[in-house]
């Protein structure tokens, strides 16, 4: 009985062993899978498209046993510095596209790391056959704005000027050679484009001035030995229209042209001798960036002087110094500096001053029995002088320009067209001048 149980136990053990051997010879129905460990994202450099590295899984059946128990599952890497895999061993394939036949890259061998190259085109970029943009850079990006060419606009009202002179004089019987003058002048300059060139406009300036004369003093009654009285009316006037143009012929040659027509009279009457025509013409040669040479004439239309030669050099050695070495109106200026938004200059100047007016003689004086030709007649007279002054001028950020100067008037003379008297020479005097322009 016991012997039969032992035999049955031996047979059971053998059956289990046979079943175990059969099971070990069957193919595996699954494989171990290892999940990828999450990788922290890395900063991608600007304008760089990261490459993707993909580990190719095995091409064999997933139900076959793995080649090695330590084979890792496919992982995905986003590092831009991924390592290239082994070269492909399979033959390349030909792919037909709308643009033509191209050769596809060979497939990678099983288990080889494949790197996707960074694209050489931007899918969001403008197509290559698109027209060129109007602006080469985005003007809203700092430092990337395009360069614009500014169009010079012609300003209609160039400036308005107010000018005042005061020449000291002494009234009374003891000052026969005294002559005091007060001059007030107002003008406005307008610019008109000429030949479609806004840089050299035609400048039209209408102006009006009043001259108040104090003297000369004549003593009555006169004797035959006394000279003819040098009488002047209380006031004379200027009403003129000026036209100026400074054409630029080329980079080194230009010109300064000016013509003026006006009525210069005491307005007792307006006749042909009340009209005067004056002007100037100068050629300008740019010798160097800091030196100009000017040469030409001034037409004054006075009784004493009709035409004056004009010219000289203009030298600007630096932005703070200015030499206008010209006859008959030289000027030397030096920048003092800026106070706030106001620029200040000091200057010294010279000028051949004066003018010509048509007047009625003996205005307001009793008849002259010895010189009847001077009673109530109309004639013209010159006032001429040479002026030297020291001045201060300023210019603000809002284009307000002002000046103030103190000077002396020398070689003064009154020249009458009828030569009665032939020439009258007032005393030299000091004068003050002030002006504003905007």
Give 187-191 contacts, CB < 8 A, sequence gap 24+: 187/160, 187/161, 187/242, 188/157, 188/159, 188/160, 188/161, 189/157, 189/158, 189/159, 189/160, 189/161, 190/156, 190/157, 190/158, 191/154, 191/155, 191/156, 191/157, 191/158
Q: Region 261-280: what's the mean pLDDT?
A: 93
Give the C-alpha distances (Å, rounded to integers) separating 356 from 80, 154, 283, 421, 423: 91, 35, 27, 16, 14
Most confident of the following: 5-19, 149-163, 219-233, 376-390: 376-390
Q: Region 369-376: what's the mean pLDDT?
A: 59
Query: How far is 432 from 430, CA to CA, in rounded Å?
Result: 7
Bridge partner residues of 331 (DSSP)? 324, 349
DSSP state of 68: -
pLDDT score, position 305: 92
Reduced DSSP (H G I as helix, E B as strand, rest coil) percent helix, strand, coil of the chain, to 5: 5, 45, 45
pLDDT score, position 259: 97
How would DSSP label each residue in 190-235? EEEEETTEEEEEEEEEEEEEEEEEE-----SS--TTSPPP----SE
pLDDT at 256 over 90: yes
CA angle in degrees (0–180, nearest 5) for 204-207-210: 165
Domain boundaries, the chain: 157-437
- HEC per residue, 369-397: CCCHHHCCCEEEEEEEEEEEEEEEEEEEC
pLDDT score, position 424: 85
- Residue 205 near residue 188, CB atoms below 8 Å: yes
The 10s digit of each residue's pLDDT in 12-46 is 666 666 665 554 454 444 444 444 444 444 544 44
φ, ψ dihedrals at 104, nearest 5°: -75, 150
Q: Region 148-156: what's the mean pLDDT?
A: 59
The 10s digit of each residue's pLDDT in 67-93 is 444 444 444 444 444 444 444 444 555
Which tokens hold the place of 266? 């005491």
The 10s digit of each residue's pLDDT in 308-345 is 999 999 999 999 999 999 999 999 999 999 998 999 99
- Residue 385 near residue 408, CB atoms below 8 Å: no
**259: phi > 0 → left, psi -120 to 50 → alpha, else beta; which?**
beta
pLDDT at 94 over 60: no
The 10s digit of each residue's pLDDT in 190-209 is 999 887 777 789 999 999 99
Q: Is the peptide bond before 216 cis (omega within 30 degrees of 0)?
A: yes
Q: Region 390-405: what's the mean pLDDT?
A: 94
**Contacting residues for 29 by C-beta, under 8 A, at least 6 apart:** 63
């Amino acid at each position: 009985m016991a012997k039969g149980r032992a035999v049955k136990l031996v047979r059971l053990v053998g059956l289990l062993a046979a079943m175990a051997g059969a099971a070990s010879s069957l193919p595996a129905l699954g494989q171990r899978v290892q999940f990828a460990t999450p990788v922290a994202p890395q900063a991608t450099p600007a304008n760089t498209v990261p490459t993707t590295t993909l580990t190719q899984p095995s091409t064999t059946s997933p139900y076959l046993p793995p080649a090695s128990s330590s084979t890792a599952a496919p992982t995905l890497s986003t590092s831009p510095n991924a390592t290239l895999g082994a070269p492909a061993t399979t033959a390349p394939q030909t792919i037909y596209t709308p643009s033509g036949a191209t050769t596809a890259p060979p497939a990678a061998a099983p288990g080889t790391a494949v790197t996707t190259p960074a694209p050489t085109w931007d899918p969001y970029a403008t197509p290559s056959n698109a027209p060129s943009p109007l602006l080469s850079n985005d003007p809203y990006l700092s430092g990337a704005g395009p360069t614009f060419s500014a169009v010079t606009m012609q300003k209609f009202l160039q400036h308005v000027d107010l000018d005042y002179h005061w020449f000291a004089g002494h009234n009374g019987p003891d000052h026969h050679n005294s002559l005091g003058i007060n001059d007030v002048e107002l003008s406005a300059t307008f610019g008109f484009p000429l030949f479609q060139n806004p840089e050299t406009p035609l400048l039209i300036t209408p102006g009006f001035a009043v001259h108040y004369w104090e003297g000369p003093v004549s003593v009555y009654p006169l004797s035959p030995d006394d000279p003819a009285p040098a009488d002047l009316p209380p006031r004379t006037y200027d009403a003129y229209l000026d036209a100026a143009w400074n054409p630029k012929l080329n980079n080194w040659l230009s010109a300064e042209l000016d013509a003026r027509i006006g009525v210069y009279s005491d307005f007792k009457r307006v006749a042909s001798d009340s009209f005067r025509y004056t002007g100037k013409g100068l050629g300008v040669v740019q010798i160097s960036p800091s030196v100009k040479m000017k040469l030409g004439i001034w037409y004054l239309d006075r009784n004493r002087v009709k035409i004056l030669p004009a010219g000289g050099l203009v030298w600007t050695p630096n932005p703070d110094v200015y030499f206008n070495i010209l006859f008959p109106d030289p000027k030397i200026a030096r920048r003092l500096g800026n106070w706030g938004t106001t620029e200040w200059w000091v200057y010294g100047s010279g000028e051949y001053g004066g003018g010509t007016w048509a007047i009625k003689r003996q205005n307001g004086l009793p008849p002259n029995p010895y010189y009847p030709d001077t009673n109530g007649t109309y004639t013209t007279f010159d006032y001429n002088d040479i002026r030297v002054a020291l001045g201060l001028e300023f210019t603000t950020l809002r284009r307000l320009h002002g000046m103030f100067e103190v000077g002396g008037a020398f070689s003064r003379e009154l020249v009458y067209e009828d030569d009665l008297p032939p020439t009258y020479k007032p005393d030299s005097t000091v004068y003050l001048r002030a002006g504003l322009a905007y």
